[in-house]
Amino acid sequence: MNIRLPKIVWVNIGLLVLFLFVLILPGEGGLSSFFRGGKPLGYSDQRAGIQLQNAFRNVYNSSKDSVVSIRTKKTEAITSPYQYFDYRTEKLSSFGSGFLIHEKGYVVTNFHVISDAESIEVIASDGSVFPAKFVGSHERADIALLKIKEGSGLKPVSFGDSDKIEVGDWAIAIGSPFGLERSFSVGVVSAKYREDLDETGQTHIQTDSMINPGSSGGPLLNIYGEVIGINRLIRSDSGRNTGIGFAIPMNYAKKIIQLIEENKGRIIRPATLGVMATVPLPDHRKALGIPADWKGVLVYDMDSGSSAESSGLKRYDFIMEANGVQVKNINDLREQVGIVGLGGRLKLRIYREKSLQELTVRLIQK
């Protein structure tokens, strides 16, 4: 039986064949020539840009097997908004970032990433998942140390000197924002020593690299692929990146990590010294016999029952060193108190009544 197609169908078939012929026709007459064109700009035109692009690729390739995603799980009660006493428990997951610092399987992240977690897993660059053990943490510094099995295939990071960074230096962040593993973003160091951002009182590196929820605990790298900071928080009204992120300087973080390792299994809690102190004025120096070129802070008051009072610190003591570190201002003293933490001991070098003395302060809960 012969089927006769309407004339319009034959016309459409003919147009389709013609269109396909034009599309694949070689040479300048076909649309295929649109996809064969040369590069708009050659290597000589873009030499500097290509070299920079290759530099970023090198940083990523050298770091990707050191950075991990961290998945935590904890049980939470879910309450119905429509009915009283209607609730259920669910094991919820959350994500953060971290990086390997030692071939024996030690991983660093933020304390707030693993806080209250019932289980912790580390996800490597090849997708391998490793259970992680809690080694210890420092709550105020917001740093935690985890351990996975040796031979994981991960590569320890290299550390840079965070004291040598300058505003305008490249700052590269790798992490898992919103659970998107090993996301790579590039920015610059926006400021070197941001203070008093929160209750920790510690200084931070400010950067415009893209840091978002889930990036916490990941490394901030320099152009050599060295870790100069631990990405920690952002300044934003919306909870999303607005170009202002902050990282814990690595030189400070290394002191904290060493302290955590010495106190395995412990969460180092925040502590206070309980003093009001300031850099003395010339009149104060003259009255107390403090040489003009000596650096330190003068105690002018203290809290009753505080660590300072209980350990014998007095008004008008001039604090010059804390745990062997020179105290130039109150932030230096606060930093050392924060490093030691609750229950620790702070060794002070003071000038009292025209004599140098050593004093050990035990940091207690007031």
- How far lies 230's CA from each of 145, 206, 254, in Å? 13, 11, 11
Question: What are the residues whose beta carbons fall under 8 Å from the beta carbon of 270, sequence distance 6 or more?
Answer: 139, 140, 199, 338, 341, 342
User: Which contacts (CB < 8 Å, 24+ apart) does range 148-151 have?
Assistant: 148/105, 148/107, 148/122, 149/105, 150/103, 150/104, 150/105
- The catalytic residue positions are 112, 142, 216
What are the strands, taking DSSP E only, across 62-212? 67-79, 87-102, 106-109, 119-123, 129-131, 133-138, 143-147, 170-175, 183-194, 204-207
Contact at 8 Å (CB) between 189 and 205? Answer: yes
The C-alpha R_g of the chain, in whole angstroms, comes to 30
Token couple for 129: 């998942």
DSSP-derived 3-state class of residue 200: coil
Count CA atoms within 13 Å of residue 202 on its CB side: 27
Cα-Cα-Cα-Cα dihedral sign, residues 279, 285, 290, 293 = positive
Give yes or no for a contact between 314 and 361, defined as CB atoms under 8 angstroms apart.
Answer: no
Query: Is residue 202 within 8 Å of residue 253, measured between CB atoms?
Result: no
Residue 58 φ/ψ, nearest 5 degrees: -60, -40
Name beta bridge partners: 78. Answer: 88
